[in-house]
């Protein structure tokens, strides 16, 4: 019996390492928003194994979560959904203000600065990975920052945007670059 236990201990670490297939999700954060509104999640995905693809997201704090990107279309800032985002060794995905991001549509609860919530990312090969998003101030441009106004696209993804809100922006069609 003891030899079986020791054999299991030597196998278990290899199984645990194979589980996430080298995909890591770090620097997960969001901005404060009232319930019923549209929130946003930013993060960085790295992959140390075979190439993979981020295909979707979900969170219990929202009715739905969508992969989006912010683009400059002849001087007009637009957001549009994207079907997926590739990730591979040496090619991390950075979801950040002014670029790719996760839109949280139909917030079921307020996102309050200083709190956190789970977000589950779905990958083609690695499957589902759940991370914790830390909520920053409404105008934050990165974790720990507290800016109230818009600055060079830093707030174009659903957060505080000076005198604008996301519904004032032109929304492009679906598809990816």
pLDDT digits over 32-78, tens only?
999 999 999 999 999 998 999 999 999 999 999 999 999 999 999 99
Report field, pTM of the whole predicted structure over 0.85: no
Q: Which pLDDT belongs to residue 10? A: 31
Cα distance between residue 39 and residue 16, in whole Å: 33
Question: What are the structural domains of the chain?
Answer: 20-171 (2.60.40.1890)
φ, ψ for residue 18 (rounded to 5)? -75, -20
Q: Give per-residue burial for 50-69: e unless 16+ CB within 10 Å, then b.
A: eebbbebbbbebbeebbbbb
- Is residue 116 predicted with pLDDT exceeding 80? yes
3-state secondary structure of 37: coil
Q: What is the per-residue pLDDT across 120-176, written as a single tens digit (0 to 9) for each?
A: 999 999 999 999 999 999 988 877 544 433 333 333 333 333 323 333 333 333 333
DSSP-derived secondary structure for 143-167: TT----S--TTTT-SSS-BTTB-GG
Which of the pair, 3 or 103, is modelled with greater confidence?
A: 103
């Amino acid at each position: 019996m003891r030899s079986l236990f020791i054999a299991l201990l030597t196998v278990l670490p290899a199984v645990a390492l194979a589980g996430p297939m080298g995909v890591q999700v770090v620097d997960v954060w969001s901005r404060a928003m009232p319930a019923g509104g549209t929130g946003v999640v930013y993060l960085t995905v790295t992959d140390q194994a075979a190439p993979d693809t981020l295909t979707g997201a979900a969170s219990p704090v929202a009715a739905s979560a969508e992969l989006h990107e912010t683009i400059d279309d002849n001087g007009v800032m637009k957001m549009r959904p994207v079907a997926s985002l590739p990730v591979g060794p040496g090619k991390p995905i950075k979801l950040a203000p002014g670029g790719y991001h996760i839109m949280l549509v139909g917030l079921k609860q307020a996102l309050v600065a200083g709190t956190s919530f789970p977000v589950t990312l779905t990958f083609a090969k690695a499957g589902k990975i759940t991370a914790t998003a830390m909520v920053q101030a409404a105008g934050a441009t990165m974790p720990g920052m507290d800016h109230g106004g818009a600055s060079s696209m830093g707030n174009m993804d659903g957060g505080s945007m000076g005198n604008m809100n996301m519904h004032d922006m032109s929304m492009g069609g679906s598809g990816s670059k």
